[in-house]
Chain A
Amino acid sequence: MAKKMKINDVIELLKDADVEALEGVTFEGDIELEIDETAAGIDSLFAYTMGQETAKIGLYLLNLARSVGYPVDQIAGMPAQPLAPSVPKLSKLIESKFSVGTNDEWKTQIQEVTLGATSSDGGTRGHTITLGGEKALPYYFDAPMPNRNYVTIDVFDMPIGMAKAVKSNYEDVMEDPGEWAKKVVKEFNADLVTIHLISTDPLLNDTPAVEASKTVEEVLQAVDVPIVIGGSGNPEKDPLVLERAAEVAEGERCLLASASLNLDYERIAAAANKYGHVVLSWTQLEINAQKELNRKLMKQCGVDRDRIIVDPTTAALGYGLDYAYSNMERIRLAGLIGDEELNFPMSSGTTNAWGAREAWMVSSPLKEDSDWGPREYRGPIWEIVTGLTLALGGNDLFMMMHPGAVKVLKEITQTLFGSIKTDEIDLSNWVAEVVA
């Protein structure tokens, strides 16, 4: 940008500078100078001793003086025109301070939602877990994150096919959901357990809702962490199954997974209200559908705000994670700036990462690819990166399967959350010090 100033201002400015030889130079009239700050051609020494701003003004003044006949070149030791662009050499660094503001658009807090109920609240869980409550994007410096991320590990009510790297951890407990639940809590450090009642699917075992609810009781007795109850995904049967499961788990403040627009969400919402649970509001990568369903749950079904968690759908790394990530980030940003139909904690079916062929296939089906290497190392990192990316997009609760992936995801999310302390590292000579 060019600044305009009058010549008398310039002289005024230069008054205190050591340019005595210019004294007595007068100009008639109001001559305006356009001073281009990006113009090259300022003598570096002059610039350095006088400061850039003054130097530029002085230079223009001298040029002007020259143009009206003053022998300025002999005055200040300035080089003759044209001034070759020369680079100022610095003898020392120009000390600067860095600062940046906080985001003042984030005025709305994400709803806090508690899962599990202890005996003091009419449940039997050993502790509760609270999700949400953020006032900024996750791990941002604008506002501390009140609650960390949590991981719930999947347990199924029947043996299912799964990737070899996952299956090897569960082969001994697959026939017994109670033992399976104990294992994920005790050995794999699950914060919660998800019991998926997939055997109720009419295309699988078509287990009646009453019988499936016994599995829920079994899991509640086996572990004392809060639990998530999942159906089979069959839109006709799920309301029935979840209703019955909600009833046997009355007062435990479980998460019912899930209410969606393609099934009778009213029944699931009613079951949550009646028996004291939380609803997982599930939509498919569509922010407006998420708003619609949340609105219906609140307005039409009377679900309290502190009983809604949203699952905007998780697509695996390489298989639509870009949509899943941006969808979550948009939902979280909308919530923070005041959309009260979207400011809820979020949950991710991170296990979906195992659907990616890179996670489980022995080798690439495409002969042109470089070698994919051993699959037992590809799968867990696929689950980790899928979850981690969504953590950065605002996801709070992760539904996962591989114990190694759970461990690493917890480590990175809790590091960014700020609860992992370690010795300090000196990086100043890392280039030579990294030994690998």
Chain B
Amino acid sequence: MKVNSPLQVYKYLPQTNCGECGEATCMAFASHLLDRSNKIEDCPPILDGKYKKKYLELSELLASEIREVIAGVGETAVKIGGDDVLYRHQLTFFDPTVLAYDVSDTMSEEELVGRVKKISEFKKFYVGAFLKVDMVAVRSTSNDPSKFKAAVKKVTETTTLPLILCSFNPEVLAAGLEVCADRKPILYAATKENWQQVSELALEHKTPVVLFSPGDLDELKTLAVSFKEIGINDIILDPGTYPRGEQLKTTFENFLKLRRAGIKEGQKDIAYPIMATPITSWMVNEDPITASYWETVLASVFTVKYGDMMIMHSIEPYALLPEVHIRSTIFTDPRTPVRVDPGVYEVGSPTKDSPVIITTNFALTYYTVESDISSNDINCYLATVDTDGIGVQASVAGGQLTAAKIKETFDNAGFDFKEKTSHNTVILPGMAARLQGDVEDTTGLNVKIGPPDSGRIFGWMETNWPPK
């Protein structure tokens, strides 16, 4: 992005404050273009012919430093790349790393279908939504076009997720495209050997293409410059992910170099999304648990540092769970508030016999507790104490969660235990057990100690509620 103040953007807008974009003023719209919560196309007037020049200029100014490549179609389409900064605290990272998991064309149909289903159905609840994975990579281990075509076809029949077609043989890729070109798959990969045929496939089918040049950034740039010249813009760079030793150290440095060149130095001819292949862990580790662990380690390294897309093999929960969580860690927008408003919230339809549970106003804590309670159909009052957005354990240690703060929460909410409850009891988080005496003295309430993890509230209730 070449602009950094709303005023600079405003100059290119119609400046009529017509409100058609949903913002009150063009200036407000300008600031949302800068933080990328609005698109220029949200402004109908600027699309009008008379603003065409300004529209094009502004599009150029607002374009992300790293090109954004789109693969797949419809609701499962993925955006890859699109970043503007080197560190997430400077703004936020856009377009979370796209996670692809492989199948191969020498798998039995049963195994292939089973894996594809697991990949597409995986979900993990987290802060109000489900974390999922994004793509299926079909690898040709047979090098046989007809086998590959059959495998790709089977995958498209089983899932709507977008595909990566993986082979260094252009004939194999062409065979795969015959059955899925309309799904806008990614071609993996063009190399210095096959680049002419693969570029023709990418042009003909208008698909994104990965350029693969293991360990050689000159060659990678040579490919990128050449593809651009041919007229291909939807490019993804694979500098090779070596799974161990000094080659892995060099791989890490290559990711840093490519991203620094693209963002800090504005080298447009190399400013494309970068992909990693943690799956190469399986080339050097025979034990499947070791291979899966190391694959997750590689996936984590390249999620933190600049991998925009990656291919993995393990679909064990102990691989998928950390992988979706580290991605969410890195791509969570640091500009969104970390805390919820303090107060006493109703979960479900609490009655006078329902428990009153205490938690903190750290957004993550609050949403975790809330989802644990509501998912188990527990009706209760959830008192959210203002701990400056710090979680339970840390705020007990740091003095932000105290008996006085708890009393204040109920007082400010006008929550009268005599009127609202039949039991005059609060439940403290297990991690805050040490506050029990203080809370009893300060509030005059009965205090029960809940479980240390809210995931266990349901079981805890069975033996501890109602209070005797």
Contact surface of A with B, Cβ cutoff 8 Å: 87-90, 93-101, 103, 139-141, 203, 233, 235, 260, 262, 284-285, 313, 315, 317-323, 325-326, 329-330, 333, 355, 357-358, 361, 364-374, 377-378, 380-382, 384-385, 388-389, 392, 408, 412, 415-418, 420-425, 427-436
Please, could you name 9 A-B residue pairs with CB atoms under 8 Å apart, sorted by A? Answer: A93-B195, A94-B229, A235-B399, A318-B329, A370-B317, A378-B318, A380-B293, A382-B322, A431-B189
B375 touches A425 (CB 8 A): no
Given A235-B399, A370-B124: A365 in contact with B372 (beta carbons within 8 A): yes
Given A96-B221, A418-B246: A434 in contact with B282 (beta carbons within 8 A): yes
- Chain A positions within 8 Å of B284 at CB level: 422, 425
Nearest Cβ in chain B — how far from A112, in angstroms?
A: 22
Given A378-B318, A435-B282, A436-B291: A139 in contact with B249 (beta carbons within 8 A): yes
Contact partner of A317 (CB less than 8 A), chosen from B217, B269, B325, B338, is: B325
B391 touches A320 (CB 8 A): yes
A416 touches B252 (CB 8 A): yes
Interface 9-residue window, one of B3-11, B12-20, B175-183, B254-262: B254-262
A421 touches B246 (CB 8 A): yes
- Chain B positions within 8 Å of A422 at CB level: 244-247, 284
A433 touches B283 (CB 8 A): yes
Nearest Cβ in chain B — how far from A393, in angstroms?
A: 8
CB under 8 Å from chain A, chain B span 371-395 = 371-372, 375-376, 390-391, 393-394
Interface presence of B332 (CB below 8 A): yes
In whole angstroms, what is the CA distance A381 to B243 when docked?
Answer: 17
Closest 10 CB pairs of A and B: A373-B317, A422-B245, A365-B455, A377-B318, A98-B217, A87-B231, A427-B214, A98-B221, A436-B282, A100-B261
Nearest Cβ in chain B — how far from A352, in angstroms?
A: 8
B222 touches A361 (CB 8 A): no
In whole angstroms, what is the CA distance A6 to B364 when docked?
Answer: 63
- Chain A positions within 8 Å of B189 at CB level: 431
Given A365-B375, A431-B168: A93 in contact with B192 (beta carbons within 8 A): yes
Interface presence of B289 (CB below 8 A): yes
Contact partner of B226 (CB less than 8 A), chosen from A87, A93, A366, A432, is: A93
Given A368-B123, A377-B289, A388-B300: A425 in contact with B279 (beta carbons within 8 A): no
Residue of B nearest to A365 (CB): B455
- Chain B positions within 8 Å of A378 at CB level: 317-318, 321-322
A420 touches B167 (CB 8 A): no
Q: Which of B241, B372, B399 has the most CB of A within 10 A?
A: B399
Contact partner of B297 (CB less than 8 A), chosen from A285, A326, A384, is: A384
- Chain B positions within 8 Å of A319 at CB level: 364, 391
Contact partner of A388 (CB less than 8 A), chosen from B215, B217, B297, is: B297
Interface 9-residue window, one of B61-69, B138-146, B151-159, B408-416: B138-146
- Chain A positions within 8 Å of B33 at CB level: none
A425 touches B243 (CB 8 A): yes
Given A384-B293, A431-B166, A436-B291: A423 in contact with B280 (beta carbons within 8 A): no
Contact partner of B247 (CB less than 8 A), chosen from A377, A424, A436, is: A424
Contact partner of B242 (CB less than 8 A), chosen from A88, A427, A436, is: A427
Q: Which of B122, B126, B247, B270 has the most CB of A within 10 A?
A: B247
Interface presence of B225 (CB below 8 A): yes
Apart from A203-B433, A430-B279, A436-B313, what 14 extra A-B contacts exist at CB < 8 Å?
A87-B230, A90-B196, A235-B399, A284-B398, A333-B87, A365-B455, A368-B125, A370-B123, A384-B296, A392-B305, A415-B249, A431-B166, A431-B167, A434-B313
Interface presence of B330 (CB below 8 A): yes
CB under 8 Å from chain A, chain B span 259-316 = 260-261, 265, 267, 269-270, 277, 279-280, 282-284, 288-289, 291, 293-294, 296-297, 300-301, 304-305, 313, 316
B283 touches A425 (CB 8 A): yes
Nearest Cβ in chain A — how far from B387, in angstroms?
A: 10
Given A87-B230, A322-B329, A408-B293: A369 in contact with B123 (beta carbons within 8 A): yes
Residue of A nearest to B88 (CB): A326
In whole angstroms, what is the CA distance A371 to B125 when docked?
Answer: 12
Residue of B nearest to A420 (CB): B245
Nearest Cβ in chain A — how far from B111, in angstroms?
A: 12
B321 touches A358 (CB 8 A): yes
- Chain B positions within 8 Å of A322 at CB level: 88, 328-330, 332, 334
Contact partner of B326 (CB less than 8 A), chosen from A373, A389, A431, is: A389
B226 touches A90 (CB 8 A): yes
Nearest Cβ in chain B — how far from A433, in angstroms?
A: 6
A430 touches B364 (CB 8 A): no
Contact partner of A96 (CB less than 8 A), chosen from B102, B269, B277, B300, is: B269
Residue of A nearest to B453 (CB): A357
A317 touches B326 (CB 8 A): yes
A98 touches B270 (CB 8 A): yes
Nearest Cβ in chain B — how far from A66, in angstroms?
A: 26
CB under 8 Å from chain A, chain B span 20-74 = none
In whole angstroms, what is the CA distance A27 to B127 when docked?
Answer: 70
- Chain B positions within 8 Å of A357 at CB level: 453, 455
- Chain B positions within 8 Å of A432 at CB level: 139-141, 143, 167-168
- Chain A positions within 8 Å of B270 at CB level: 98
A365 touches B456 (CB 8 A): yes
Interface 1/0 per residue, B87-121 and A, CB below 8 Å: 11100000000000010000000000000000001
Given A320-B362, A371-B317: A98 in contact with B329 (beta carbons within 8 A): no
B398 touches A100 (CB 8 A): no
- Chain B positions within 8 Å of A433 at CB level: 283
Residue of B nearest to A92 (CB): B226
In whole angstroms, what is the CA distance A366 to B321 when docked?
Answer: 14
Contact partner of B139 (CB less than 8 A), chosen from A372, A421, A434, is: A434
Nearest Cβ in chain B — how far from A135, in angstroms?
A: 15
- Chain A positions within 8 Å of B139 at CB level: 431-432, 434
Interface presence of B462 (CB below 8 A): no
B297 touches A369 (CB 8 A): no
B124 touches A385 (CB 8 A): no
B300 touches A366 (CB 8 A): no
- Chain A positions within 8 Å of B283 at CB level: 425, 430, 433-434
Nearest Cβ in chain A — how far from B176, in angstroms?
A: 12
B316 touches A373 (CB 8 A): yes
Given A368-B375, A412-B297: A430 in contact with B277 (beta carbons within 8 A): yes
- Chain B positions within 8 Å of A435 at CB level: 141, 282
Interface presence of B397 (CB below 8 A): yes
A415 touches B248 (CB 8 A): yes
Nearest Cβ in chain A — how far from B385, in angstroms?
A: 16
Q: Which of B130, B329, B456 has the most CB of A within 10 A?
A: B329
- Chain A positions within 8 Å of B393 at CB level: 355
Interface presence of B343 (CB below 8 A): no
Given A355-B393, A389-B326: A366 in contact with B375 (beta carbons within 8 A): yes
Interface presence of B253 (CB below 8 A): yes
Nearest Cβ in chain A — how far from B216, in angstroms?
A: 9
Nearest Cβ in chain A — how far from B272, in angstroms?
A: 13
B230 touches A89 (CB 8 A): yes
Residue of A nearest to B192 (CB): A93
A361 touches B455 (CB 8 A): yes
Interface presence of B458 (CB below 8 A): yes
In whole angstroms, what is the CA distance A204 to B168 when docked?
Answer: 63
- Chain B positions within 8 Å of A317 at CB level: 322, 325-326, 329
In whole angstroms, what is the CA distance A384 to B88 when docked?
Answer: 21
- Chain B positions within 8 Å of A233 at CB level: 397
Interface presence of B203 (CB below 8 A): yes
- Chain B positions within 8 Å of A424 at CB level: 245, 247
- Chain A positions within 8 Å of B304 at CB level: 325, 388-389, 392
Given A284-B390, A333-B87, A389-B300: A427 in contact with B325 (beta carbons within 8 A): no
B334 touches A367 (CB 8 A): no
